[in-house]
Amino acid sequence: MADFSSIDPQTLAQQLATYDIASLQNQLKTKTTTMDSQKKALDALKTALTDFRTAMSGLNKTNEGMLKNLVSMNREGIANVTAQSNALKGTYNIEVEALASAHQIGFDKMSDDSIRNASGTMDITLGTGAKAETITVDLTDMESLSDLTKAINGHKDNPGVTASLIRTDGEVTLMLSSDESGVKNTLSVTSPTGLDFSNPQTISKAADSVIKMGDMTFTNSSNTLDKLIDGVTIELTSVTEANKPLTVSVGTDSAGTKEQLQTFVDAYNTLQDTLTKLTKSGNGNDESRGALAGDATMSSLDRELNDVMRQVFGDKRMSDFGITADREGKLQIDGKKLDKAIKADPQKLNDLFNGKEGMLTAIDKSLDRYLNSTNGLLKGRQEVLDRQQSDIDTKTEAMNARYDSSYNRYLKQFTQLQKAMAQMNNTMGMFGLA
């Protein structure tokens, strides 16, 4: 008679319990593999779209668009000049008669004792007329000049005044400085009891910059002129000599503009590479098939981007500047056609790409439909995947519970069988029948 006492209940229980869940286990494995593939594809798509959107945003800043301008000057040391995308070509002769300066006044022969013995309040006023701003500093309980400077600089309503101490040859001067230059930022101080602030020394006058262009004279409270010529910022550093004006020429930076356009083309082509990889049909080969092949959302995205690229913005299309798509949908630039179009009317390039009505804004709006963190299509897709993952997790827990139940049941049965067979063998041995 066969001896069943050597059977292993645990091994048998494990084998049969595994067999019981094999079908469901295979289904969940397939679903998990598909889910992981879709998650990776969605992450790759989100990253690609975000990177492209960031690149487009960098090319569509206020006054810093696709067109790059170049500035040249007939001499150095007078000003630093930059031209933004909206600056028009031209030549400007500028005479700098005076630079703007901030008001600085000093009160000498100051000491800690003079502050300690003073009483009442001092008013510090910045500006004149209706726009003047005044702070009141209470000298009560002040012990030193350091206390006074801290009270001024830390005043909650300080309009732009800085107090500092100048120490020379054992004497101390309290200096008050306007943080901003120009006549409109003149300082004045009232005298508290025990201190005379009526005759301050002028360390630096409050002055406006003064420039001339032909017969026209302009003044400005600072040395930065950003409204004199549209799109041009002039930072004055020195005055000009008599009858030797600074000549500023603004023209198109062809190399810089091409670099900007190449950045756009490269960013778009990189996005296209990702989209092509994710939607590749695979020609019947599952291993080479993209995780989002045949996906309606991807088709919609591709269609939207192509539609935007073909639209007219500012009376121009991309093809008017030599930017076209090849058979694979990637962009390329015809340098000669681009040079000709920019030379004819450089601002048209900005009109095409930049501003609220430009192509880059239209692209951003299209991308927002997919990337919006509140109701974007990719967020919706992620939520669907999350629900599917939750369903897989629930079924996996149920499968594991089923395995445990089957294992315990089989283990009990085979353990009982092992014991029964052992007892039977022992009984038969007693009668010599084994």
Give residue-wise pLDDT tens across range 217-255. Answer: 999 999 999 999 999 999 999 999 988 999 999 999 999
Residue 46 inside a domain? The answer is yes
Q: Are residues 155 and 291 in the same domain?
A: no
Overall number of domains in the chain: 3
Say whether both 305 and 176 belong to one domain: no
The sign of the dihedral angle between the CA atoms of 5, 6, 9, 14 is negative
User: How many other C-beta atoms are found inside a 10 Å radius of the C-beta of residue 396?
Assistant: 15
240 plus 281 within the same structural domain:
no
Judge contact between 186 and 206, C-beta under 8 A: yes
Element (H, E) at 331: strand 331-333
Contact 187, 105 (CB under 8 A): yes
Mean pLDDT, the chain, rounded, equals 91
What distance in Å separates the CA atoms of residue 276 and residue 270, rounded to the nearest whole number?
Answer: 10
Q: Among 192, 223, 252, which residue terminates a domain? A: 252
Question: Do 113 and 93 have their domain in common?
Answer: no
State how far the Cα of 229 lies from the Cα of 76, in Å rounded to an integer. Answer: 19
pTM: 0.74
Do 123 and 159 sit in the same domain of this protein? yes
Under the banding of pLDDT at 50, 70 and 90, the label for residue 291 is confident
Of 272, 261, 256, 250, the closest CA to residue 320 belongs to 261
CA 70 to mean position of chain CA atoms: 26
Q: Which range marks the domain in which residue 241 is found?
A: 69-99+209-252
Tokens (6 digits) for 158: 């300080």
- Calculate mean pLDDT across residues 185-205: 92
Query: Of how many residues is the chain composed?
Result: 434
- Let me know if residue 316 belongs to a domain: yes
The Cβ of residue 14 has, within 10 Å, a number of other Cβ atoms equal to 16
Same domain, 357 and 367: yes
Burial classification of residue 141, based on how many CB atoms lie within 10 Å of its CB (0-12 exposed, 13-18 middle, 19 or more buried): exposed
Are 108 and 157 members of one domain? yes
pLDDT at residue 289 is higher than 90: no
Asked if residue 434 is part of any domain, the answer here is no
Do residues 399 and 415 both lie within one domain?
Answer: yes
Cα separation, 193 vs 101, whole angstroms? 31
What digits encode the pLDDT tens for the residues 156-182?
999 999 999 999 888 899 999 999 999
**In angstroms, what CA-CA distances link 226 with 70, 101, 357?**
16, 17, 24
